[in-house]
Structure 1
């Protein structure tokens, strides 16, 4: 409340107190002939009345949580304004504004107004600055009571008295917005005010449900939410299409995935068909990623989820299928049937898909799963739906399913190395043809020299200028028999839209991986130890020689740790790397060397770890 209003209220109270004191004085004087004792009593009474009046004025301008939320429940706009002004005057730094002051158990006044069908209170709170898309933090009486240090019965009582008496206080409303409550309360007035203030009708609660899920059908509130939901979805689709046009999926994935150009293009093409309406809408999109360990299969699935769902963590579901090797573990996937232990908890997959039915789901190392688990996946891939242990049907035709496997990894690795060698041979042949035998005067032009240099770079990069494509013969005669022998059913393989092959890294890709790994360690050295880490060009090649085709990028990671980080840690332990120094990595005869430039020195000095 402003200072002028506080002073005005105080003066009114003092005038009332003065009039009361005068009356008491006259009565006291009339009752006492001497007048002295009576006047003393009158003065004391007046002073007490003034003290009470001041206390009332002060209390009237102090935020009171209980009064605030009860006023919101009843739609008392005057008290709402008074409490918001009192909360704002407190100026608690780093917290919500006055209109967004949360109840100690997690909800906001805007949520309470919507839940109690108080459109006028909703409009007033929005006018006072309440934000329409804040999310509920009340996760049920037990959880809320534990967080607030209360008894669950007390939390339930406060939820009923200071929020809404018509809702189950034991249930969790985590992630709900005011629009969710307006839909549940079937309050078109509250919904209209929220939507006009910019509330997002596509916002999801912790269970992955929009406000529309809780609206009655039919109802005016539902019709209103449907209209705004369509507008938001159309605007979001247009924005996504424009972003895809300016920033294609291939470009996004190549920022995070080293190499694997053919795999990225295959995935991007399938996703593009789905996003633009050129795919079978009755079945979900299913991939099988094949290749050695540490080659980028899991990372590609993660980046695909990030691209499609804008960093939403609930939109990427990862299940390690090595945890489903036994028959009874099907229940862990879809939930136990009624009457069994854990029935109420649901399954890991069904629970996650119920929260986000259009997620990217990764079945890691699917070849390790029990055949009964594969039967469940077959139903999922074939019909785009899944029935959980409770009998509830979950539609997930818009999901993207990615399976990874190391089946045929050795065959694919050897075939990929053969492709690399053939590409290098073709690059060498092109280099030779670009630099033909000199003419009679043996003059070679600058253009021929540049062409030869470009071909040599192509050889060093493993033929990156030429796309490496897995032949149909290799797929049908080598890989497919291995898959069929393991999975034992053609219908399972027939539901896979794309089998994506991840080939071994080329030489240039290995150098890039080493560069990235060294850069990561250089950043850690700078942040943790104030040590600057540098390296010469030969270091990249020496570390790239430690590549193991069976372990992929992990072999590079381990090589850097073994040959570089171990030396740095030993040097630091022996006092050879003071804070503020710089370290230069070099390579000589395949061995890595360290040179240190201490603070206030200009040159690097070789570091002999044995002498420290």
Structure 2
């Protein structure tokens, strides 16, 4: 049947327009029945398709972070939470590792396609004391008083939104003072003196504080796990996979991370209002391969849609591109590596009219480790590796024959010599 909760452009439901009497009673009964049916469907959907499973479709790796957020959201959805206080998360980890994406996907899950359900504030815009007014709005008599604050205005429109405070470590201490009341009591007073109740909101802060310590600790744990797995039976696959599944110890959190957070935020009461501190770890090799494959698939779809070109590659290509991973830039370093080593060649070949429409292209590796081992065995014993693996494009012709493209690069940035 029809949705009795559907709102018009003014934000009103059919019940708002009904007068007292039989029609209003029928609409009320219909709303109640519809809400119960909707809740039943949502519970069934959550049971069949858990939140963690949905998040893993969009986020590579970070299983511990996904599990922590998923458990907290599940408590809230099923009524096992303190309704007097909002949920507050602090996401810690290096740049480009999935912190913002996890916040976005959480908002998408809770609010579907409602844009007002996700509020993102870049806290680097609130580094000065006077910029606090932009946060909650200017007091009466000041410029911009009627406009309201960036946060208060949006929270009034959607009090149960997912609010992302991106790079919270860059905000002025006065902004953090305002957050104390927001996180503790779930309410915020704007510049006009009006109070906004947002106890149902979810607040997520991201920060790069202690990211180097977390990354180095995770790498050390992986190295220790790899050494342990080598000592055990090689056929035991579970032991091999343990190098990917590591967790941050409680001792490391208390003795290393907490003092760093306390020194930066300078207040225990602020850290005490955070429900969960979520740790994002560097990607392992198998996750890097997934990232490379995802990025190559992205460009393969563009090549097919824009130029009707089919793009192919193998595992060796992904291994070479995965070597471009930078611990400090996360997934962005993989994106830039693919653009630099693959997309640049595609653009140059297209500009030089080397790509017939509808052709099939294969990305290949030259001077790879496998090829160098073969040449080393067939040549003199003293032969050593002198070249880095390079990626080349070749056209796959009829009969599975291939022809390498001779792409004339005007200038290769890596080979330019600068004279001072």
Aligned with residue 553 of structure 1, among 320, 331, 356: 331
Other-structure match for 2:249: 471
Other-structure match for 2:8: 135
Aligned with residue 378 of structure 1, among 180, 184, 190: 180
Aligned-partner SS, 1:344? coil
Q: Which moved more, 1:496-505 or 1:575-584?
A: 575-584
Aligned with residue 491 of structure 1, among 240, 256, 269: 269
Structure 2 residue 132 is the aligned partner of structure 1 residue 352 = no
Q: Give the Cα separation in 2 of the matches to 1:132 and 1:385.
A: 27
Q: Give the Cα separation in 1 of the matches to 2:160 and 2:222.
A: 38
Spell out, residue by residue over 1:402-442, the C-alpha distance to the aligned partner (whole angstroms, 9 max, x if none): 0000000111110111111122222222334xxxxxxxxxx
Aligned with residue 521 of structure 1, among 299, 322, 327: 299
Aligned-partner SS, 1:470? coil
Cα gap change, 1:546 to 1:247, in 2 (>3 Å): same
Question: Which structure 2 segments of 5+ residues have no match?
Answer: 369-388, 411-420
Contact 2:15 2:24 in 1 (8 A): no
- Normalised to the residue count of structure 2, the TM-score between the two structures is 0.87
Q: Give the Cα separation in 2 of the matches to 1:486 and 1:229.
A: 50
Other-structure match for 1:192: 24
Aligned with residue 540 of structure 1, among 297, 318, 324: 318
Spell out, residue by residue over 1:311-344, the C-alpha distance to the aligned partner (whole angstroms, 9 max, x if none): 2211111111111111111111111111212212
Residue 191 of structure 1 and its aligned partner are, at CA, apart by 5.9
Aligned-partner SS, 1:503? coil
Other-structure match for 1:429: 231
Spell out, residue by residue over 1:242-290, the C-alpha distance to the aligned partner (whole angstroms, 9 max, x if none): 1111111111111111000111111111111222222222110000000
Q: Give the Cα separation in 1 of the matches to 2:40 and 2:194.
A: 34
Aligned-partner SS, 2:80? coil
Other-structure match for 1:512: 290
Structure 2 residue 401 is the aligned partner of structure 1 residue 603 = yes
Other-structure match for 2:115: 313
Aligned-partner SS, 1:281? coil
Aligned-partner SS, 1:394? strand
Residue 509 of structure 1 and its aligned partner are, at CA, apart by 0.2
Aligned-partner SS, 1:593? strand
Q: Give the Cα separation in 2 of the matches to 1:337 and 1:230.
A: 42
Cα gap change, 1:235 to 1:550, in 2 (>3 Å): same
Residue 397 of structure 1 and its aligned partner are, at CA, apart by 0.8
Q: Give the Cα separation in 2 of the matches to 1:522 and 1:597.
A: 15
Contact 1:335 1:345 in 2 (8 A): yes
Q: Give the Cα separation in 2 of the matches to 1:487 and 1:390.
A: 28
Q: Give the Cα separation in 1 of the matches to 2:56 and 2:360.
A: 32
Contact 1:539 1:586 in 2 (8 A): yes
Q: Give the Cα separation in 2 of the matches to 1:133 and 1:397.
A: 24
Q: Give the Cα separation in 1 of the matches to 2:352 and 2:136.
A: 55
Contact 1:291 1:407 in 2 (8 A): yes
Contact 2:5 2:31 in 1 (8 A): no
Q: Give the Cα separation in 2 of the matches to 1:255 and 1:494.
A: 32
Spell out, residue by residue over 1:471-527, the C-alpha distance to the aligned partner (whole angstroms, 9 max, x if none): 111111111111111111000000000000000001000000000000000000011
Structure 2 residue 88 is the aligned partner of structure 1 residue 286 = yes
Cα gap change, 1:555 to 1:462, in 2 (>3 Å): farther
Aligned with residue 340 of structure 1, among 132, 142, 151: 142
Q: Which has the higher contact order (CA 8 A, sep 6+)?
A: 2
Q: Give the Cα separation in 2 of the matches to 1:392 and 1:307.
A: 30
Cα gap change, 1:268 to 1:611, in 2 (>3 Å): closer
Other-structure match for 2:37: 235
Contact 1:595 1:604 in 2 (8 A): yes
Aligned with residue 271 of structure 1, among 67, 73, 79: 73
Which of structures 1 and 2 has the bigger CA Rg?
A: 1
Spell out, residue by residue over 1:446-487, the C-alpha distance to the aligned partner (whole angstroms, 9 max, x if none): xxxxx35x36xx64x6723xx311011111111111111111
Cα gap change, 1:579 to 1:409, in 2 (>3 Å): same
Report the structure, 1 or 2, having the larger helix content.
1
Spell out, residue by residue over 1:191-246, the C-alpha distance to the aligned partner (whole angstroms, 9 max, x if none): 639x65xxxxxxxxxxxxxxxxxxxxxxxxxxx4xx65544433332222111111
Q: Give the Cα separation in 1 of the matches to 2:362 and 2:82.
A: 56
Q: Give the Cα separation in 2 of the matches to 1:229 and 1:344.
A: 36
Q: Give the Cα separation in 2 of the matches to 1:239 and 1:232.
A: 11
Aligned-partner SS, 1:343? coil
Contact 1:293 1:551 in 2 (8 A): yes
Contact 1:321 1:366 in 2 (8 A): yes
Cα gap change, 1:245 to 1:547, in 2 (>3 Å): same
Q: Would you say how many aligned residue pairs link Structure 1 and Structure 2?
A: 388
State the superposition RMSD in angstroms: 2.3
Cα gap change, 1:228 to 1:595, in 2 (>3 Å): same
Q: Give the Cα separation in 1 of the matches to 2:124 and 2:5.
A: 44
Residue 354 of structure 1 and its aligned partner are, at CA, apart by 0.9
